[in-house]
């Protein structure tokens, strides 16, 4: 998914707070293709950074 250069990106914890759901619910939505992070980077095998477009959350 693409985002515009001027769109603010937020990490998954903040995205869940904005959406009013838990991080686990956000992960479930990812698994069921309801929402996907705009940027997802694997830092290590146990650490993945997920960023969401603020405009898509509100």
The pLDDT confidence band at residue 29, using thresholds 50, 70 and 90, is very high
The pLDDT confidence band at residue 10, using thresholds 50, 70 and 90, is very high
Q: What is the rounded CA–CA span in Å between residue 18 and residue 32?
A: 20
**Domain regions of the chain by residue span:** 9-57
pLDDT at 2: 55
Mean pLDDT of 41-53: 95
Q: What is the rounded CA–CA span in Å between residue 42 and residue 18?
A: 23
pTM: 0.78
């Amino acid at each position: 998914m693409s985002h515009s250069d001027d769109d603010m990106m937020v990490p998954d914890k903040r995205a869940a707070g904005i959406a009013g759901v838990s991080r686990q619910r956000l992960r479930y939505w990812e698994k069921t293709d309801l929402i996907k992070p705009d940027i997802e980077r694997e830092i290590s095998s146990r650490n993945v950074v997920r960023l969401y477009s603020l405009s898509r959350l509100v």
